[in-house]
Structure 1
Amino acid sequence: MKMRPPHWLPYLGPAFAGLAAGLADRQWPEGGFWGILLIALIFGFAPIVIYRVWKRLHHR
């Protein structure tokens, strides 16, 4: 039996982006604006992409 993806999964993106940016700033202070922004974008869009892939695999 396949599990359906949780409907709230994409809404975790902004929280993950903020946490990732904060942690990256603490651990990598010389990363600069663009490095921190890149990390925040990757972690921000990851839940959305995971949800879409999970949903597509569930509907097959």
Structure 2
Amino acid sequence: MRTAYRVRVYPTPEQAAVLNRTFGCVRLVWNKALAWRRHRHHADGARTSYAQTDRYLTE
């Protein structure tokens, strides 16, 4: 049986700033990886694995 919990967080202004900066960085990396994967798919018709995406991001 799966259980779900619903929580709400009320960060301090300092914590909110750190979270906003972190999520902004995550969004940037996600969008970069997604653009690269889409380009590969449209250009070559190639599918991209998680391992290939990981190597691309860590180059």
TM-score (norm 1): 0.43
TM-score relative to the length of structure 2: 0.43
**Greater relative contact order (CA < 8 Å, ≥ 6 in sequence):** 1
Q: Which has the larger radius of gyration?
A: 2
Higher helix share: 1
